[in-house]
Structure 1
């Protein structure tokens, strides 16, 4: 997980799957998640067209609860934010 500080992204946490986000409310700001999709597929013996997927998003309401699934197959992906 990276946070945008104007002209620079700062790594907040490096994780695999569960516990990706730090516990507690997220501070307002712009963030980016980077998924190593090639590595993920390789560990499962699957082919992957995408090396990685990056999802940038903005949090404006610090009290809002949300989830952001990444649905992946070897040739496509989709993501959405929900609360």
Structure 2
């Protein structure tokens, strides 16, 4: 039995280690009910001159989090980044309308910290975000 579970534990441990070492995470909470917002599509882009270059795209988990949004095996560089939360799709899937089809959060990475966390507090007609830890 243990031999069968060993590969599963190895994968879980590897992904947990990566998540801890990843420099960017996000979290989405629904302000109407205080619960995590699962399955919100999130896109990460980096500014390059006059263009945004897509680096990654994921969906929040059951806990409303993406603990490792930055691409694996890539060093976080200084610069301007954008995390876009695709809120309209999430509200539609939850049978609600929203005023905001998406919430773009643009932020600067200056290298002063090793991890950036961006929480989004979401409701159909308002949102709030801040630099978390």
Normalising by the residue count of structure 2, what TM-score does the alignment of the two structures yield?
0.56
1:33 and 2:76 correspond: no
Q: 1:49-82 CA deviation, whole Å, 9 max, x = no partner?
A: 1111111000001642221101100110000012
Query: Over alpha carbons, which structure has the higher Rg?
Result: 2
Are residues 13 and 62 of structure 1, via their aligned partners in 2, closer, same or farther at CA, if it must alter by over 3 Å? farther
Tell me the distance in 2 between the aligned counterparts of 1:63 and 1:69: 17
Higher strand proportion (structure 1 or 2): 2
SS in 2 for 1:38: helix
Aligned residues: 83
5+ residue gaps, structure 1: none
Normalising by the residue count of structure 1, what TM-score does the alignment of the two structures yield?
0.86
1:79 maps to: 129
Tell me the distance in 1 between the aligned counterparts of 2:59 and 2:76: 19
Tell me the distance in 1 between the aligned counterparts of 2:83 and 2:115: 17
1:22 maps to: 71
RMSD, aligned CA? 1.8
Tell me the distance in 2 between the aligned counterparts of 1:32 and 1:66: 12
2:47 maps to: 4
5+ residue gaps, structure 2: 1-43, 61-65
